Structure 1
């Protein structure tokens, strides 16, 4: 009588096990969260804090790059752009003029977006003001239900929207997440491509100072 040969995990190459683990994460949709968790640890190092424009030198951003043209030079950003809330209501972006706007473009399938969202939620809670508007703009192509379930699962309370049409050219970017900070006059005063830590003393003070 032949003995059944038992397969030992010790005999399976490590790369096969690693590939199998990634396959399981991908099939279950957990790969985004797993990568996001690793990137969240990177944010905690403080090496990826968002750049804050120098208020005294309005012509230059902290990074040294030229400032984006003002509203008087290029018009109010987002004119004609409409947003849709997760409840289906339509909002004109121009209705936010007069407020400081923190606009973050993200998607549920984007690991760096997932990584930075908790620190954006903390920022939202700390700078709560009717003069500061948070626009968490999902460009998710999986539908509003997917986005709504994601937000509810995470317990985020910041306002979430989806574009009602094409993004304006001034909000176009080759990467997500991308974050824009817009002055009450409709001028983009900061732009950050890629994930960053926003819940910093410098960022909080900057947003509140513009909202005065």
Structure 2
């Protein structure tokens, strides 16, 4: 009888523990806090420097990047990726509901701050949020001043990634130099130099 009572007691304790865990998870998802919490944990992972984009070798061959699609900026002005011909483009596909996107955004912002208008390196952050206002509020709340856009036409196959975040680097002569699916730490001296070499700064 004692064994049965002990087992019943352990079972009850286990059910209570699982109930608390499920309750906390449900609370985080219902309030939307799960995104920022998971993003913060992933930001800590990025701080280790273990997840970095692989920089392509100059001996690699690179496909032509499709620039024939349209985006709108925060003011509603519609532009094409072709507007950046002759300039290196760092294009990041992201969303406010995506924890790894949130995790890598500070490193992208730090990288962005290393360049100015004369550097021939343009940052294009394309929000996948259905409500573009959420993307604007996210950037403003965190003090990021990077230019953000949202798609205005169907995305060409080149950029139809099933994973976000996905980051592309396109050279000034229209070659797709890099595609990185998933989060990464971009504010490294090696990656900055990679962009500068492409732009011949």
TM-score, normalization: structure 2? 0.88
Aligned CA RMSD, in angstroms, stands at 1.6
* Counterpart residue number, 2:25: 22
User: Is the CA contact (8 Å cut-off) linking 1:78 and 1:170 kept in structure 2?
Assistant: no
* Counterpart residue number, 1:77: 66
* Counterpart residue number, 2:54: 51
- Structure 2 residue runs of 5 or longer lacking an equivalent are 1-12
- Structure 1 residue runs of 5 or longer lacking an equivalent are 1-10, 60-66
* Counterpart residue number, 1:96: 84
Give the SS at the match of 1:31: helix
Greater fraction of residues in helix: 2
Deviations 1:161-184 (A, max 9, x none): 000111111111121110000000
Q: 2:129 aligns with which of 112, 132, 140?
A: 140
1:35 equivalenced with 2:35 (yes/no): no
> What displacement does 1:201 show?
0.9
Q: How many positions carry a matched residue from both structures?
A: 187
Give the SS at the match of 1:13: helix
TM-score, normalization: structure 1? 0.83
Moved more, 145-154 or 11-20: 11-20
Q: 1:194 aligns with which of 175, 182, 188?
A: 182
* Counterpart residue number, 1:110: 98
